[in-house]
Amino acid sequence: MTSILEKIKKIDDLPTLPAVAMEALSLAHAPNVSISKLSEVIHKDPPLATKMLKMANSSFYKRGDKPVETIQRAITILGLSEIINITSSVSVISTFTSKKGFIWESFWDHCVATAIVARTMARKIRMETQGREFVGGLLHDIGKIVLDYTVRDDFNKALDLSITRDCPLYEAEQEVLGTTHMEVGAFLAERWNLPDYLRDIIRWHHAPEMSQFKPMTALISIADLLAKAKQLSYGGDKLSFVLADQTGWQTLIEHRYPMDELDLERITFEMDSLADTVREYIKSMSE
Amino acid sequence: MELASQPSGILMTGEQFLQLRDFIYEKSGIYFADSKKSLLENRLTFRLKAYNFTDYEKYYYLLKYDPQAAKELRSLYDTITTNETSFFRSPPQIEAFAEKALPDVMTRRQKAGEKTLRLWSAGCSTGEEAYTLGIVLKELLQDTLREWDIKIYASDISEKALRSAKLATYNEYALRGVPVEVRQKYFKAENSQFVVTDEIRALVELQFLNFMDSQRMQLMKGFDIIFCRNVLIYFDDAARKKIVSHLYDNINPGGYLFIGHSESLHNITRAFKLVHFPGALGYKKE
């Protein structure tokens, strides 16, 4: 019997990441990326370029009073890594919201929430991320899209099981599908040629100690949980957790991040408006 | 017409403020920061007027040396405490209590073969929180409630608030967060007021308690879940540390503490484990 993962690997018409997003992502961490080079890439996709300018002028990203009118200007103002965040966000979200069936809204709510929380946490613990945390948060659950695309009925069964049993979705997936959204996502990451750090976040965000990019994956694992605690989750599981007991938390302590300084109660309280921020972000992206 | 410029309270000198602030702090742990001078003025004006005093000096001496001091002290507590509360306040916390903390504690108790539950609404004000916990318990346990030995202690430093809690009679506004079917089940309408049913009232035991009374605090043992919400905000860090350390000692291993939705124990203690429930935080004693 072939496993579901093997079957998925043989499917030819898997969702594809827009060429521009792939190019932007690969540029992101290449040395000496120039503004003009990135601007050139974005211009290859005129609808993307238009959206990009809208995003740059949205309340989420806007700096100062003057409207941003060119991509070059947007890059100068927002910085390279922010532009790469926006490019990948816009292209990934718009590619996948057009497919029917999946509950896109809550899926992207969770992904954007994770990205925003990851950014907040990275700032609090002073982690140098070059914007990777945002893209990582956004794409960490990408395997769920593939599961929905390829084995929807069984994936729905796993979703139901995680609700009735009040267990993590990946446990239900393992039981129903014999694979998980992390495994499937990691496969997609390879097929899409995503950077190594992203593949690792996608593969190990529930077991960050296994990642080659431990602090970053650990950060996403924590952000993932916090987003869920703020009821921005996809997958039904309504779990309770002790952050300090998570391997992701321990990993960050081992890497000498000042976790003990964090007033988690205050941070959690400040995230009360997270749902609004997420909606605002998605709205500005989809307008 | 000079009325408009007259202040509503009797003015306090800076020295009087410090004297009274320190006195109140020493007795109750409740702390009025410098920015709260006019609040204290407004509240104590009522006490001064009760004695026809025109300045705080006399009142301070009464509190300190008069044979009636103990009695006045209790009126003072009534005056300086805030009694803002409602039924089912901060619903995600009540849900975390009902769906996570309570089942966790009850399973543990049942395994140990003890069907007892001790809850405490610490700083219960006019009783809404304590009765809410009672209603949640009844909803969860239904007919099996009587198989359990359950007590919900509800304590406050204001006797006035406790008297009101004892009446268990509330207006429409206090019930604003109560679902209709819960209202019908657990409240009797009387003269446009709502009275908590006897069954729920029987679960709650009200008592006067000053958090600074270490002897009494040490006697409050064996609690499974404590609610102390929006209470610590009235204390300074030293008093908070003292209170929370008592609360920690008073909770059984495996038990929970809930504080206010916007409060934090980050600077107070690391003894508890911070638990993220769906939509709410709680503290667990391991």
Q: Residue B2: what pLDDT?
A: 39
Q: Residue B131 — very low, low, confident or very high, per pLDDT cuts 50/70/90?
A: very high
Contact A244 B273 (CB under 8 A): yes
Enumerate the residues of chain B whose CB falls inside 8 A of the CB of residue A228: 278
Average confidence score pLDDT of chain A: 87
- Lowest mean pLDDT segment, chosen from A98-107, A169-178, B158-167, B272-281: A98-107
Q: Residue A99: what pLDDT?
A: 58
Mention every residue, 6+ apart, whose C-beta is less than 8 A from residue B148.
Answer: B115, B116, B117, B141
Closest residue of chain A to B286, computed from CA coordinates: A242
DSSP 8-state assignment for residue B84: -
* B266 in contact with A, Cβ within 8 Å: yes
Three-state DSSP class for residue B273: strand
Contact B266 A266 (CB under 8 A): yes
- Lowest mean pLDDT segment, chosen from A20-29, A66-75, B15-24, B100-109: A20-29
Enumerate the residues of chain B whose CB falls inside 8 A of the CB of residue A274: none
Average confidence score pLDDT of chain B: 93
Mention every residue, 6+ apart, whose C-beta is less than 8 A from residue B86.
Answer: B128, B173, B174, B175, B176, B177
Q: What is the ipTM of this complex?
A: 0.85
pTM: 0.89
Mean pLDDT across the stretch B20-40? 94
Whether residue A287 is predicted with pLDDT greater than 70 in this model: the reply is: no
Go through chain A and tell me how many residues it has.
287
Mention every residue, 6+ apart, whose C-beta is less than 8 A from residue B93.
Answer: B229, B258, B261, B280, B282
Q: Residue B226: what pLDDT?
A: 98
Contact A268 B281 (CB under 8 A): yes
- Mutant choice from A240, A269, A271 vs B, greatest count of B C-beta within 10 A: A240
Q: Residue A2: what pLDDT?
A: 67
Q: Residue A22: what pLDDT?
A: 81
Pairwise CA distance, residues B76 & B270, whole Å: 34
Closest residue to B266, CB basis, from A226, A243, A265: A265
Mention every residue, 6+ apart, whose C-beta is less than 8 A from residue A164.
Answer: none
- Lowest mean pLDDT segment, chosen from A72-76, B27-31, B214-218: A72-76
Whether residue B279 is predicted with pLDDT greater than 70 in this model: the reply is: yes
Mean pLDDT across the stretch B143-159? 96
- Mutant choice from B232, B240, B266 vs A, greatest count of A C-beta within 10 A: B266
**Side-chain half-sphere exposure of A176, counting CA atoms within 13 A:** 22
Angle between helices A274-286 and A46-56 (to 10 degrees): 140
Q: Residue B268: what pLDDT?
A: 96
Whether residue B3 is predicted with pLDDT greater than 60 in this model: the reply is: no
* B275 in contact with A, Cβ within 8 Å: yes
* B278 in contact with A, Cβ within 8 Å: yes
Q: Residue B72: what pLDDT?
A: 94
Across A72-76, A266-270, B254-258, the highest mean pLDDT is recorded for B254-258
Pairwise CA distance, residues B5 & B9, whole Å: 12
Q: Residue B93: what pLDDT?
A: 96
Give residue-wise pLDDT tens across range A125-157. Answer: 999 998 889 989 999 999 998 898 889 899 999
Scanning A216-245 for CB atoms below 8 A from B yields: 225-226, 228-231, 238-245
DSSP 8-state assignment for residue A261: G
> Locate tokens 């302590």: which residue?
A253
* B265 in contact with A, Cβ within 8 Å: yes
Q: Residue A36 — very low, low, confident or very high, per pLDDT cuts 50/70/90?
A: confident
Strands B280-284, B273-277: pairing kind: antiparallel
Q: Residue A102: what pLDDT?
A: 57
Q: Residue A82: what pLDDT?
A: 80
Whether residue B1 is predicted with pLDDT greater than 50 in this model: the reply is: no
Among A154, A152, A29, A24, smallest CA distance to A91 is for A24
Pairwise CA distance, residues B70 & B80, whole Å: 15
Quote the percentage of chain B above a pLDDT of 70. Answer: 97
Strand segments, DSSP code E, in A121-161 are none
DSSP 8-state assignment for residue B30: B
Rounded to 5 degrees, φ, ψ at A7 are -60, -45
Enumerate the residues of chain B whose CB falls inside 8 A of the CB of residue A230: 279
Contact A268 B279 (CB under 8 A): no
Whether residue B6 is predicted with pLDDT greater than 50 in this model: the reply is: no
Asked if A216 contacts A182 with a C-beta cutoff of 8 angstroms, the reply is no
Contact B263 A265 (CB under 8 A): yes
Among A112, A131, A132, A137, smallest CA distance to A284 is for A112
Contact A266 B261 (CB under 8 A): no
Whether residue B254 is predicted with pLDDT greater than 50 in this model: the reply is: yes
> Locate tokens 């929370």: which residue?
B244
Closest residue to B278, CB basis, from A229, A243, A245: A229
Quote the percentage of chain B above a pLDDT of 90. Answer: 89
Q: Residue A123 — very low, low, confident or very high, per pLDDT cuts 50/70/90?
A: very high
Give residue-wise pLDDT tens across range A50-94. Answer: 888 888 888 777 777 888 888 888 888 888 878 877 787 777 777
Closest residue to B262, CB basis, from A228, A264, A269: A269
Question: CA B43: distance to chain centroid?
Answer: 19
Contact A241 B275 (CB under 8 A): yes
Pairwise CA distance, residues A64 & B38, whole Å: 40
Mean pLDDT across the stretch B62-72? 92
* B267 in contact with A, Cβ within 8 Å: yes
